Amino acid sequence: MKKFRFKKLVKPAVYTGALATLFLSFALIESTSEEPLKDNNDFQYVNNSIFTSNIPVVKEQSDVVIIKPYSSDKVEISKKFYDNTATDEEKENALIYYNDTYMQNSGILYKSDEQFEVLSILDGTVIDVKKDEILGNVVEVKHSNNLISTYQGLSEVSVKKDQTINSGQQIGKSGKLELGEPLENALLFELIKDGKYINPLNYFDKKLSEI
């Protein structure tokens, strides 16, 4: 098979051009590396899914204190969390009677003589907003440290799914619940850690890192 060859006069020209291109590339790289990196808001990633997800990530703040889901001083506890280590009397008082069935309270049932604002206990992301036949409007919020808070029985909802919210931000307002007793201004609040219900009263006013 016949082999193609460059003419002798062409070879030096090609080599010279290649060397010139190589030196120019080195010069450009060196000049670029000397410039400091600057933030550019107009820059777009090729694939945003690499850096973002369906649920916005909330920056973990281990020193943040967990607050109560309300600020009104007129709110009181109607039913406490059912704790297996509690006394028999405390366990009995933590039972909710509904539809001829006794249920263990997996949260704290709050009540008040007047409607009150329901607040987020921490910074977080709203992962669900739904309406339940028994519990009314329900909002679930995901926080750092694999913690989820649930607000049930709301008459009004002030947030939307996938919304990033701050500690103390209004989630909604208390509403009507009939769990053990009819309550006009109530809130059933639950706290879930690593998929398990925990007693909220043991964690209010504590740092997130202490959970």
pLDDT, tens digit, 9 for 90 and up, residues 114-151 = 999 999 999 999 999 999 988 999 999 999 999 999 99
- The pTM of the full predicted model, rounded to 2 decimals, is 0.71
- Residue identified by tokens 């008082």 is 93
Question: In whole numbers, what is the pLDDT of the chain averaged over residues?
Answer: 79
Place of tokens 């009819």: 182
CA distance 72 to 70: 6
pLDDT tens column, 156-204? 999 999 999 999 999 999 999 987 778 899 999 999 999 999 999 999 9
| pLDDT, position 181 | 76
Cα-Cα-Cα-Cα dihedral sign, residues 101, 102, 103, 109: positive
CATH 3.40.50.1580 is held by the domain 9-211: no
d(C-alpha 69, C-alpha 169), whole Å: 10
